[in-house]
Amino acid sequence: MRIDLSGRTALVTGSSSGIGLAIAAGLAGAGARVVLTGRDEKRVAEAAASLRASGADATGIAVDLAADAAPVLEREQDVDILVNNLGVYEARPPLEITEDEWRRYFETNVLAGIRLTRHYLPGMMARGWGRVQYIASDSAVVIPAEMIHYGMTKTALLGVSRGFAKAAAGSGVTVNTVIAGPTHTAGVEDFVYQLVPGDLPWDEAQRRFMRDHRPQSLIQRLIEPEETANMVVYLSSPQASATTGGALRVDGGYVDAILP
């Protein structure tokens, strides 16, 4: 299957590293012009430069999308592919999560993506083509006891994406959620060491984390960011024109269900 996204502009939020950067690289590899975002100007610039060094058409915007999307909306008035990847997470005892933290998680992980979708979806529908995706998590279905505030936001994304898919019905625009499983990123390495002894070598720490905290995984390892990016690139393609309103799993078999 040859995926050609030449002439398309893709906006990927939270893309200065990890899954977001892998998604941006995958879309750029298929020919799309990619726009990266992140809060740290230096990291965003370095990420965009790394893609340009490999021949990609990439630019970056430093912005806190949970607070204000204007810097993105003013520079990129129309996009063809919107990937709402931005998200924050950390382990917290449920009864210690404050109201301000609940609010911050919702505004960052859910409302930021809704804001961008509300802006870009009408233009996609008017042009008769577009792709909107939300990056959720196995935590949307299997709420982790150690971070229910994060799980709540990922569950919300399933409803948000299904609703916007209905709003775009018959327009040629698809809206989907990708359910990513436990993934190997620098941030997740930090998270793993919150739950296992910090003096363990990484390979042993990863094995213990999967055994003790994610034993349902059928691949019994963390997923690499590029594996999630592959699904996003496919869903962004013309070949995925009949897939909308769905929750597609790249979870290593972690969720013990036939359907999400």
pLDDT in tens, 38-50: 999 999 999 999 9
Q: Which tens digit of pLDDT belongs to each residue from 220-246?
A: 889 999 999 999 999 999 999 999 999
Beta bridge partners of residue 61, listed in sequence order? 37
- DSSP secondary structure, 21-34, as one string: HHHHHHHHHTT-EE
DSSP tag of 17: S
In this prediction, residues 53-76 reach a mean pLDDT of 97
> Domain-by-domain residue ranges, the chain?
9-183+225-249, 184-222
- DSSP secondary structure, 64-100, as one string: -TTT--HHHHHH-S--SEEEE---------GGG--HH
Q: Which tens digit of pLDDT belongs to each residue from 73-88?
A: 999 999 999 999 999 9
In this structure, of 33-37, 61-65, 217-221, the range with the lowest mean pLDDT score is: 217-221
Domain 9-183+225-249 sits in CATH at 3.40.50.720
The better pLDDT of the pair 174, 203 is held by 174
Q: Which tens digit of pLDDT belongs to each residue from 141-167?
A: 999 998 999 999 999 999 999 999 999
Catalytic residues: 150
